[in-house]
Amino acid sequence: MSEKILRIENLRKEFSAEVVPIKNLSLEVRRGEVISIIGGSGMGKSTFLRMINLLERPTAGKIIFHGENIVDSGNLSAIRQKIGMIFQTFNLFDGKTVIENAIEAPIELKGISAQEAYDKAKNLFERVGLVEKMFNYPEELSGGQKQRAAIVRALMMEPEILLFDEPTSALDPTMVGEVLAVVRMLRKQGLTMLIVTHEMNFAREVADRVLFFADGEIYEQGTPAEIFDSPKRPKTAAFIRRQKYFHYEITSKHVDLPEMQGKIMVFADKYGLDEKYSQRLQLCTEEIIFEMIAGCYGEENEISMTVEIIYTESERILELNLSCGGKNYNPFAKKDCDDDLSLKILYGYGKNFRYSSSEGLNKVSMEIGKRGNL
């Protein structure tokens, strides 16, 4: 098993009392490991990378590299030579040629000769397929070529760890493969890499381990297969499957139907559900609510009921869930619905019906079909 090259302990970052993107994060990274970091916007992914090479100072916690807590180090230049960073906007100097961008830092900071730097850069540009563009200026390169040039510039410093902050976000989709090919090459060479990305296929293909960030911490981590095929925690599953949620609380038998149905229409329109699909959803929601009110609460006026709609974009599944108190009542126990209009509607437009009761709560669930049987 390879050695631990980086250890992060109880890292925290506060920009203000209200803005705390990283609350308490610990991580160990092994030499040669490739880690993809995914999660929603504002979850602290880029802030985390910037703290590792001290572009952002942690509010608390330790970053231990080669046994030293580099948070306390006064030699930032030496640290950033060993922990390189690739930015989403390339950060190349527009007034310098591609090769001038690559050789400036090793000549100035490492003290190598211009000829040695040139030979080394030429070799790296050959490996990433850019040797014919060495004397061009950045403005003459495509986005994918600029990112490859930025990677060469970082490699010139012989880093032990490379941090990639959304390396493909500024690229046309046709250029993502260029960067992916270079990352694959670096992986074969055993370079340790941490990659923040919103490209799920990219994250899956290059990583040994995937971290999902949420709530200021590593919410879940595992192999690509574990995270993308079998996520264990709800927020991970929602993110991977692109699940969208609608939530509505009901506290009285006198349900404000126009308000609820209006909000459902807004939800359906936002996520591209066609009019008929939206109407089926509204009708089934209304019917299951009144079916459960009648079955669970009898003459009571005050009720406690939660309606939740989940739309899974990746699989185009629309699920209606309802939970409520009252007495136990399974609306799907009665199969013959000839004399029951509510059940006829539910069975006509729904499928995969489920009911359970635990800890005083009735829970019903069904999927709304794209095509009805009515």
Under a CB-based contact definition with an 8 Å cutoff, are residues 29 and 35 in contact? yes
- pLDDT confidence of residue 242: 81
Whether the predicted pLDDT of 123 surpasses 70: yes
- pLDDT confidence of residue 217: 93
Average confidence score pLDDT of the chain: 89
Percent of the chain at pLDDT > 90 equals 59
Q: Which two tokens stand for residue 91?
A: 């950060």
Whether the predicted pLDDT of 154 surpasses 70: yes
Give the residue extent of every domain in the chain.
4-240, 243-368
Fold (CATH) for 4-240: Rossmann fold (3.40.50)
- pLDDT confidence of residue 149: 92
pLDDT band at 102 (very low <50, low <70, confident <90, very high): very high
- Whole-prediction pTM: 0.70
Q: What is the CATH code for 243-368?
A: 3.30.565.10
Residues 6+ apart with CB under 8 A from 34: 183, 187, 192, 193, 195, 206, 207, 208, 209
Q: What is the pLDDT of residues 328-373, one digit of tens each?
A: 999 988 766 666 778 888 988 999 999 998 878 899 999 998 665 5
